[in-house]
Amino acid sequence: MLIGSVAVSLALVALALMRWDQTQADTPPPKGMVVVYKSPECECCARWVTHLKASGIAVQVREDVPLTLVKKRLQVPQALSSCHTAEVDGYVIEGHVPAEDIRRLLQERPRISGIGVAGMPNGSPGMEGYGPDEHYQTMQFDAAGKISVYSAH
């Protein structure tokens, strides 16, 4: 009986998560607002949000949703996966992308799905002070999965 109850509970949770995923897909974020999906425990994500705000970018933080579902819904390439995901005006922002790259993206409005910084390179916004600064690249990606360099830092 206990196994049956657990199975039913898991099925209900899965159904709720699928419904959440569909609801979120139907509700775009406010225009010009960077909506950041992150874990409440992640210090470097909070530091990245502070970087965006200090650069004059409007930010809304969401810590109440499963990141795996956000990444799936936004089709974040696995190769660019990082500790937080954001969206703004129909674009995906993955990882520790500098505010200047986000401003450029919104000004130029290229026909891509989004931009991202893979992993957590030292010296990228939010990752300052964790070791010697590393050179890193912001990558762009499209709906077909093509990834190429957007900018170098």
Domains in the chain: boundaries? 31-152
**pLDDT at residue 130 in the model:** 86
Structure tokens at 50: 């502070």
Position 134, amino acid: E
**pLDDT at residue 8 in the model:** 44
Query: SS3 for 108?
Result: helix
Q: If 0-12 CB within 10 Å is exposed, 13-18 middle and 19+ buried, where does residue 90 land? A: exposed
Structure tokens at 66: 């499963």
Output the CA torsion 111→148→113→136 (10° steps): -120
Cα–Cα distance for residue pair 145/153, rounded to 1 Å: 23
**pLDDT at residue 32 in the model:** 86
pTM of the entire structure?
Answer: 0.80
Q: What is the pLDDT along the chain (153 residues), one digit of tens a residue?
A: 555 454 444 444 454 555 544 444 456 667 889 999 999 999 999 999 999 999 999 999 999 999 999 999 999 999 999 999 999 999 999 999 999 999 999 999 999 999 999 999 999 999 998 889 999 999 999 999 899 999 999
In eight-state DSSP terms, residue 111 is: S
Tell me the pairing of strands 59-62 and 34-37. parallel
**pLDDT at residue 147 in the model:** 98
**pLDDT at residue 133 in the model:** 92
CA angle 95, 140, 51 (to 5 degrees): 35
- Beta partners for residue 140, in sequence order: 115, 148
Structure tokens at 15: 């159904």
Fold of 31-152: Glutaredoxin (3.40.30)
CA angle 10, 16, 18 (to 5 degrees): 105
